[in-house]
Amino acid sequence: MDDSFFQNIKMLDNGKINSLISMRDAINVMDQAFMSFSNGSTKVPHRSITYIKNLDLFFKPAYNESLGRVAIKIITQKKDGNLNGVPAILGVVLLLDMNTGAVLSMMDGTHITSLRTGAAGGIATELLSRKDASTVAIFGCGVQGKTLLEATCAVRPIVNALLYDLDIEAANKVKLEMGKKLNISIQVEKGLENLSQADIICTATNSKNPLFRLNDISQGVHINAIGSYKPDMQEIDPQIINNGKLFVDSREAVLKESGDLIKPIVDRIFTKEVIKAEIGELSNNINNGRTSDDEITIFKSVGLGVQDLYIANAIFEKHSKL
């Protein structure tokens, strides 16, 4: 094979990605991604997950004919978190030309994942939370917790953040870093006493049990539930879902993958009809979101290949114009 084939592949690390796309840009791209998924123009084959001892291996493809692009993400996630300074989540995203099959770019999949995950929470927050929301609570102070915080601040007038993590040191690091970056007040919480102050709650943990209960939160809160990507995981109290309006990234995906829905459905607490709409249906004006300030809204996401496709393509297109 001609060596030029490999030389033409654009290698983009997290520094380059950050220079090409802002969080606000990424949120707009996620809106387009979810719209394309819900209207059927982007095809997302069911992701493959292989469990290897303490390692989860994800293979996630997606393609869109109008874009003429294919994205394949390969991600590893360690169950025991960071190890010897190596992040818990690592991976690469390959962007391909759909017509030729040529690899156009290889990107830092770890950063793509955290960026598009935060941006997904951002567009859900923009579509579903109260416009005057000013306090956000973050459960899980890893990379995804940070991008969720940044995205929330990009779409709402946030002045205060509450951080929750079993690792207090990790929470304090996020407080120091993001307090300066976002110029907001940040508190590290050790209990749920102040959770009712939150207008927005973001969860990004591997918890197998609900993180809080219905009586811990206030009416009118919006929740971005980003963890619980396996059937044995559960972050959200089923009674919160029963008493709120549930929106998802993909009906099929969350019903197959997330314990937040699988467990309560098995226990007959609610049925799959509890899902009001896919988030892309809101932007496509097929369904309505929040209809009053007192409603509890929940966005449940397990992550879709369409997100990787659209964000990778947007980054590649910007890089190509340099």
**Segment 95-126, tens digit of pLDDT:** 999 999 999 999 998 889 999 999 999 999 99
Same fold, 4-112+306-320 and 120-303: no
Q: How many CB atoms lie within 10 A of CB 219?
A: 12
**Cα 287 to Cα 285: distance, rounded to the nearest angstrom:** 6
> Would strands 42-43 and 10-12 be described as parallel, antiparallel, or unpaired?
unpaired
Please name the helix (run of DSSP H) or strand (run of DSSP E) that holds residue 73, with its range, or none. strand 69-78
Strand partners, 62: 71
- Tell me: the pLDDT tens digits for 242-254? 999 999 999 999 9
Q: What is the pLDDT of residue 47?
A: 75
Structure-model confidence comparison of residues 129 and 45, the more confident one: 129
Q: What is the pLDDT of residue 77?
A: 82
Residue 64 vs residues 36, 69, 96, 309, 318: alpha-carbon distances, Å: 9, 6, 11, 8, 18
What is the CATH architecture assignment of 120-303? 3-Layer(aba) Sandwich (3.40)
Return the structure tokens found at 234.
């559960």
Give the CATH fold of the 4-112+306-320 domain. Answer: ornithine cyclodeaminase, domain 1 (3.30.1780)
> Would strands 42-43 and 48-52 be described as parallel, antiparallel, or unpaired?
unpaired
* Confidence band for 54, pLDDT divided at 50, 70 and 90: confident
When mean pLDDT is compared across 77-86, 88-97, 117-126, the lowest value belongs to 77-86
- Tell me: the pLDDT tens digits for 144-162? 999 999 999 999 999 999 9
* Confidence band for 300, pLDDT divided at 50, 70 and 90: very high
Sorted by sequence, the CB contacts under 8 Å of residue 169 that are 6+ apart come out as none
Q: What is the pLDDT of residue 3?
A: 57
How much is the pTM?
Answer: 0.92
Strand partners, 106: 11, 94
Average pLDDT, the chain: 93
Helices 109-128 and 305-320, interaxial angle, to 10°?
Answer: 110
Provide the CA 287 distance to its chain's centre, in angstroms. 21
Q: What is the pLDDT of residue 280?
A: 96
Structure-model confidence comparison of residues 90 and 250, the more confident one: 250
* Confidence band for 46, pLDDT divided at 50, 70 and 90: confident
In the chain, where the domains are located: 4-112+306-320, 120-303
- Tell me: the pLDDT tens digits for 172-228? 999 999 998 999 999 999 999 999 999 999 999 999 999 999 999 999 999 999 998
DSSP string across 148-195: HHHHHHHHS---EEEEE-S-HHHHHHHHHHHHHHHT-EEEE-SSSTTG
| Predicted confidence (pLDDT) at residue 5 exceeds the cutoff of 70 | no
